Amino acid sequence: MDTKAFFKLSYGLYVVTTRDGENQSGCVANTMTQVTSDPAQVCITLNKNNYTTDLIQKSGVLNVSVLTEEVPMETIRHFGFQSGRNVHKFADVEAIPCSQDIHGVYYLTRYSAASFACQVNQRIDVGTHVMFVCEVKDARTLSASPVLTYANYHLLKKGTTPKNAPSYIEEKQKKGWRCDVCGYIYEGETLPEDFVCPVCKVDRSHFQKI
C-alpha cells in the first residue's frame, strides 16, 4: 500500500490549546472538521497519550488556531514534537504571540488564519485517540494568508508526522535510523556521533536502528 496517498487528503494543520485552571498547554493536530452549522459544531481527534488531551478531558474547553503557510517549523516543533508534561509551552508569550479566548484559553495571534473557541459536547473513544465533538462558542478571522494544508506541510515544510498523530503511518520499507520523538528517518548505515534531528532537534540518543 502507498501510505503517502493519505497525504493527499484535504487536512489543515492546527494548534489545539486548552487550560485547566492556570495550567495552559497545546499540541499540533490535523483533524479538525466542521460537522454541523446550527449549532456550529466541529470535531477534533487527539491521541490519548497527549497532555493536551488530559487537560481537555478535565476542563471541557479548547481552542483551535488554524495555521498559515507562513508558520515556521520552529513553531510546529514547539507545539508538536515535545510534551507539555515536560515543557511549559506558553512560558514565553512574547516569543509566541498569543491572546486569550472567551474561556481564557491561549490561541496564536501570529501565523494563524483563524481561531475557534470551543466547548466539548461529546467524547468518543476511537481506540488510540479521543474524538471531541465541540460547539464553537466564538470564532475570529485573524489573517488573509493562505492556510497550511497537511499536504503542503510535507511538500513545502518537509515535515514529518509524530507517532501520536492520528495520520501517522510507519514506513516499514525504509532502512536506517528513526527518531523516537518525531519519526524522522535518517537513511544510512551509520548515524554520525554529532547528529541532531533536523525536524525536532533532539540528539542521536533518540534514534533507533530500523
pLDDT tier, 142 (very low <50, low <70, confident <90, very high otherwise): very high
The pLDDT of residue 22: 86
Question: Does a structural domain hold residue 89?
Answer: yes
- 201 and 98 share a domain? no
Provide the whole-model pTM: 0.77
Asked if residue 179 and residue 149 are part of one domain, the reply reads no
Please check whether residues 20 and 62 belong to one and the same domain.
yes
Domain annotation covers residue 4: no
Q: Which distant-in-sequence residues (6+ apart) come within 8 Å of 95 by Cβ?
A: none
Q: For position 160, what pLDDT does the model report?
A: 56
Check whether residue 112 and residue 45 sit in a common domain. Answer: yes
SS3 17: strand
Q: Domain range holding 190?
A: 170-210
Confidence band of 14 (pLDDT split at 50, 70, 90): very high
Residues ≥6 apart with Cβ < 8 Å to 122: 132, 133
- On whether both 209 and 106 belong to a single domain, the answer is no
Q: What is the pLDDT of residues 43-93, one digit of tens each?
A: 999 999 999 999 999 999 999 999 999 998 889 889 988 888 988 999 876
- 134 contacts 62 by C-beta, under 8 angstroms: yes
pLDDT tens-place string over residues 149-167: 887 776 765 555 555 555 4
Same domain, 35 and 139: yes
Q: Is 111 within the bounds of a domain?
A: yes
Q: How far apart are CA 104 and CA 61, in angstroms?
A: 10
| Count: domains in the chain | 2
- Determine, yes or no, domain membership for 165: no
Report the DSSP pairing between strands 14-20 and 61-67.
Answer: antiparallel
Distances (CA, A) of 141 to 109, 116, 144, 201: 10, 9, 8, 32
